[in-house]
Chains A and B, each alone.
Chain A
Amino acid sequence: MSTEPYAIEMRDVWFSYERRPVIEGVTFALKQGDFLGIIGPNGGGKTTLLRLMLGILKPQKGLIRILGELPHDAKHRVGYVPQYTNINVTFPISVMEITLMGRLAHCRIGRWYSRQDRQKAEEVLRQVGMWHERHTPIGKLSGGQRQRVFIARALATDPEILFLDEPTSSVDPDFETDLFDFLRELNRKVTIVVVTHDIGAISRNVKSVACVNHSLIFHEEGEITAQMIDMAYECPVDLIAHGMPHRVLSSHEEE
């Protein structure tokens, strides 16, 4: 065992909205440098789990550590790419301004962005291939271009862990391939956690898989193997075996 803290550690985490339990007794630990895909049925708690890791939600019970710190204390060490559907496209804001927001974790309140902040923003915009669009209003970009900008914003924080929530929803398939190539490259330095409903993309690209449906099943593998791909697909089957509520199965039957 290395002495460095886990990227993510959760121990018996419980969370419910009002009285409706969403996360029930989740325990797992993710090593730094891993590439985790979180899958699971809609309403199973994927996004809730992500929000708990980011400190947006607080668990009613249990312990969460991000890089050995409380979730919100690690804010300057994590990057977040929220779900694309939550984005306001009429807002008068340029690509550069959005990217600079990633620097807020390192900035002092009440100061303007520094030269270093702008240099970092330039660096990450070049990295995602959006530097030439830096003055463009966000509303004028295509879905894939916007997603690149939100990835640049997350990278501007200089994160040790990058969280992405459904990064491939409502963008073209080409972008999806590009994105996962990009993330694999990035994964040399950065731990990556992707929430997605797209089991195919996960199985081809990630190192480990967690399936969330109120409780969580974590498959940790050193490398991508055929067995691993099976596991990703098996995940819903596992849930049935565990006697969990299984919307995945019912939706299969409907199809």
Chain B
Amino acid sequence: MVCLTVYCHLMRKSEMWEALQFEFMRNALAAGILVSIACGVIGSLVVVNRIVFISGGIAHAAYGGIGLAFYTGIPPTLGAAIFSVGGSLLMGMVSLKTKHRADTFIGVLWAIGMALGVILVDLTPGYNADLMSYLFGSILAVPGSDLWFMVPMDMAIVLVILLFYKEFIAMSYDEEFAFVVGMPIRALYLALLCMIGLSVVMIIRVVGLILVIALLTIPPYIAEKYTTSLARMMVLSSLLGILFALAGLWLSFKFNLTSGATIILVAGAAFLLSQAADGLRRRSSPLKEGS
């Protein structure tokens, strides 16, 4: 309600400059940019490794951690981080061991995580109106302290990728060959899943855990079509993510809409546009692409 009042106030002036006078708006912009960078880098690896489903599982398992945090009184971000990293390691280990049934197991963990979160919140005395914000995000309520958690997270992700770029690219492109030349495939895979887990915690703040997959996959999916290297794909998808976040934030502000969902719809519209552009291009050229 407080938010709505502020919105109405802002709508009257209806200027972005005015919006930026507010700390929450500045924080929202910063959070959008920081999350987009993590999404661009990690999401590119998610898309080329085809582990979108596992990422969804991690995000939803994180909800159990949020429930646990409410129940025990620890910070929700910490609870989510514990569950998403724990969940990603568990899912990673299972998918390495039993490739054929891994998707089932991930689906089970996905559901258990959510259910656990709901039950733990039930058991928590008092009502937490805040919970919806973890499902659909609350970028407008990101406190400055969260930004100080996002900055080192982004730096850590970018640093790990800079250091181990050739190893990650080898694993992603041709796992078997990478193994033959001596890459520690399992360690790399689990490290990637852990980084997904940590990114998911950040993304939940912005678009909520239900929409995590969209932000992790749409910008890289579009970027993949226009780039010729994984590094460029990461940079372009980060930039696209920033664009979607800023546009979505502005639209949600202007039309008084839920910001997380607006950001995703902007990304979704861009996705459909790029698909349509592909279709047109293919129709205009007589040769089929690829084989």
Contacts and interface: CB of A to CB of B under 8 A. Distances in A.
21 contacts: A55-B180, A56-B180, A72-B182, A75-B182, A86-B174, A88-B48, A90-B290, A91-B48, A91-B173, A91-B230, A92-B229, A93-B229, A93-B230, A101-B169, A101-B174, A104-B167, A104-B178, A105-B182, A110-B167, A137-B228, A157-B181
Nearest to A72: B182
B291 A100 contact: no
Nearest to A163: B180
Contact of A92 (B165, B177, B227, B290): B227
B180 A101 contact: no
Interface residue tally on A, bucketed by range: 35 or more
A119 to B, nearest CB: 16
Contacts of B224: 90, 92
B23 interface: no
A89 B176 contact: no
A113 B165 CA distance: 10
A105 B184 CA distance: 11
Given A90-B224, A109-B164, A113-B166, A101 B290 contact: no
Given A89-B290, A101-B177, A109-B164, A94 B184 contact: no
Interface string A165-181: 00000000000000000
Interface of B: 48, 163-167, 169-170, 172-174, 176-184, 224, 227-230, 232-233, 290-291
B229 A97 contact: yes
Contacts, number: 86
A98 B232 CA distance: 16
Given A82-B176, A91-B48, A92-B230, A104 B169 contact: no
Contacts of B291: 89, 143
Nearest to A154: B177
A110 B179 CA distance: 16
A220 B233 CA distance: 50
A80 B177 contact: yes
B229 A107 contact: no
A14 B290 CA distance: 40
Given A82-B176, A109-B167, A101 B229 contact: no
A118 interface: no
A93 B173 contact: yes
Nearest to A89: B290
Given A89-B290, A92-B230, A139-B290, A82 B177 contact: yes
A76 interface: yes
A92 B182 contact: no
Contact of B170 (A72, A76, A101, A135): A101
Interface in A107-156: 107, 109-110, 112-113, 135, 137, 139, 143, 153
A97 B165 CA distance: 11
A56 B164 contact: no
A94 to B, nearest CB: 6
The 5 closest A-B pairs by CB, nearest first: A105-B181, A104-B181, A75-B182, A137-B228, A80-B180
